[in-house]
Structure 1
């Protein structure tokens, strides 16, 4: 059985000016003038040409340049990459094309040039508008640089997103709330809000083990997430996914593709590719299979991913999953989630509750257990 066509494309740029203490992504601190970056970008261009020649880009609807820090590699290399992208596929205005940027490497000429080359959405890694918190995180920018980056982006882009982080040891709830309010005041159209996670083998993990940094407090992180929902909701933002808020019409179509089981192609170091048809879903990363799901496991994963979204999952979709997994098991799982206060049923849909979003691991784990 042939695989469904790819609808989303991810290009991985694994270079940063420095690695933050909490980061466990496949990135490296690399000097901007390093020939390593030139070689990598040239390789990525060749991968784009190959994918185009093999017909893999013909139905792409969203593109995402992530990292790392794509803005770190400079406009010359970005021009090469974006030109190759535009010749490899139809980069029409309807295609959502997002690029990640950090304040220390985003410039006004870069904003103008990437916009002219087809990027139509910018996602800026702010994390906080508090200089003390930025120092704790080890970020390469200060608060004023973050403000300036957002204002520069808005000179060309209507669709500007910022990332904010909460629950950071040493960060007060008032500081977090002030950062959320500042994002609103700056006029961004999308905000992603994440609690700090201490990942194994990171500098933050080592600091916690040595007793030099406190573990993030679950209650503080929950308070931050609740504050974000309140402040952004009052400002007219809609929470459409567990960590994502947008003004109406500015939801991330690319990230939504991940959460709705759309096949995606990843190019570059450590970029993941997901292929599927009615019988099988397979994810490949770094040339090896990291997930190989059968139809039952696909149905369970689709339910789990749908419950990350505010719209949840319809009764019709649950019925289709139940036909594959078993009606008794699926019904019992959602009844249990309701009894635990993690999900609720109304208007023909199951949706996560506020508790369900705060206790996501419990909710998602129960659904994945339907087809281990």
Structure 2
């Protein structure tokens, strides 16, 4: 099984914290949709012997596309690829795009999962992040969406400067009151070259506090688990049968094809990525060229990626898999590096599977980095 990710590189306005590839100019939207369709056709051979289980529209803001544009891209996938009988088809959407009519149009399309970028239900947070929607629009869009879709995820951001524990908990309670079966939640991070980084440097906005973010994370885990959500990946919480099939495939190292400017692909042994420039991407595709670079991953690269993704999930890192895929020396190395974290109750072994403890979960990326094999032989 494999997946297709389609990057829609347009947004109405730039969020202050975002460093993803996008443009606020919609002038090339039609040309971009044509280029995306053509890239899908040009690369169909890469998944020739694969069944596509998930189709995911990410961005940017995919909901700026019309329903006809979205449907044309989905049709191209079905025409050019072998698609599973009941694929998961996800559209990322912003609340301000989800009018009653737009939601009904999407519900009539093959889209069967919405991922709605709420981020916060408080106006002051939305203003700080420069989101295009209001708190009222967020609530209204979710109420309309739950009337038309069963499978809905919403995004929330924690660790926002001046966000108290009480306000963060109120955000969580509001999300729970809407009855959505999936919540993705991320700590606010300060990426270089973003407006947020500039505001912090100038003293206009307080810097983020990792200790506050960690406290917010534990509040989130405790509250959602009481409501039957499973924290199946650090940033993702789903009711049973509502885990994101698309994201789970990434974390379990399944193949996926990335379509569009800046999109990444993975075939099990190599990674490829498209140019992150809209005009250059469109021009290359119009000339019948694929504007991508490719990197063949070494055994060490693949081991490091497996550790990084595995420790973020409830499935953990299997020592048997390490031996089978990378060799006995990698297992010995992983156990040696993990030993001090096991003593500190940040990691633990369940049979042959290495997992983070509740205490260690928020620190998973750092723990994984400590298990990475660096400057060592692959054999």
TM-score over 0.5 (shorter chain): yes
Give per-residue Cα distances to partners, 1:125-147, cap 9 Å, x unaligned: 00011112111111111111111
Q: How far is 1:342 from its partner?
A: 2.2
The match for 2:284 is none
The match for 2:22 is 27
Where structure 1 has 5 or more consecutive residues not aligned to the other structure, the ranges are 1-5
Alpha-carbon contact 1:297-1:371 (below 8 Å) kept = no
Q: How far is 1:326 from its partner?
A: 3.8
Q: How far is 1:91 from its partner?
A: 4.8
Q: How does 1:50-65 map to 2 (within 5 A)?
A: 50-52=42-44, 56=48, 58-65=50-57
Select the residue among 138, 149, 152 that pairs with 1:146.
138
Give per-residue Cα distances to partners, 1:50-91, cap 9 Å, x unaligned: 233665484111111000111112223223223333333355
The match for 1:167 is 159
Residues 1:284 and 2:273 are matched in the alignment: yes
The match for 1:244 is 236
Alpha-carbon contact 1:343-1:353 (below 8 Å) kept = yes
Give per-residue Cα distances to partners, 1:148-190, cap 9 Å, x unaligned: 1112222221110000000111322211111111111101010
The 2-side partners of 1:326 and 1:104 are apart by 49
Q: How far is 1:313 from its partner?
A: 2.4
Alpha-carbon contact 2:270-2:294 (below 8 Å) kept = no
* Residue range with higher mean Cα deviation, 239-248 or 175-184: 175-184
* Residue range with higher mean Cα deviation, 217-226 or 91-100: 91-100
Q: How does 1:256-295 map to 2 (within 5 A)?
A: 256-276=248-268, 280-286=269-275, 287-289=291-293, 291-295=295-299
The match for 1:107 is 99
**TM-score w.r.t. length of structure 2:** 0.89
Cα 1:344–1:95 change in 2 (3 A) is same
The match for 1:336 is 340
Cα 1:93–1:326 change in 2 (3 A) is closer
The 2-side partners of 1:290 and 1:144 are apart by 44
Residues 1:9 and 2:1 are matched in the alignment: no
The match for 2:89 is 97
The match for 2:288 is none
* Residue range with higher mean Cα deviation, 48-57 or 70-79: 48-57
The match for 1:231 is 223
* Residue range with higher mean Cα deviation, 288-297 or 101-110: 288-297
The match for 1:364 is 368
Residues 1:301 and 2:305 are matched in the alignment: yes
Alpha-carbon contact 2:182-2:238 (below 8 Å) kept = yes
Cα 1:73–1:285 change in 2 (3 A) is same
The match for 2:282 is none
Corresponding residue SS for 1:332: helix
* Residue range with higher mean Cα deviation, 312-321 or 103-112: 312-321
The match for 1:3 is none
Q: How far is 1:370 from its partner?
A: 5.5
Corresponding residue SS for 1:28: coil
Cα 1:91–1:183 change in 2 (3 A) is farther
The match for 2:278 is none
Give per-residue Cα distances to partners, 1:99-130, cap 9 Å, x unaligned: 10000011223223223321111100000111
Alpha-carbon contact 1:100-1:123 (below 8 Å) kept = yes
**TM-score w.r.t. length of structure 1:** 0.90
Corresponding residue SS for 2:95: coil
Corresponding residue SS for 1:355: coil
Cα 1:339–1:72 change in 2 (3 A) is same
Cα 1:51–1:136 change in 2 (3 A) is same
Select the residue among 324, 333, 338 that pairs with 1:320.
324
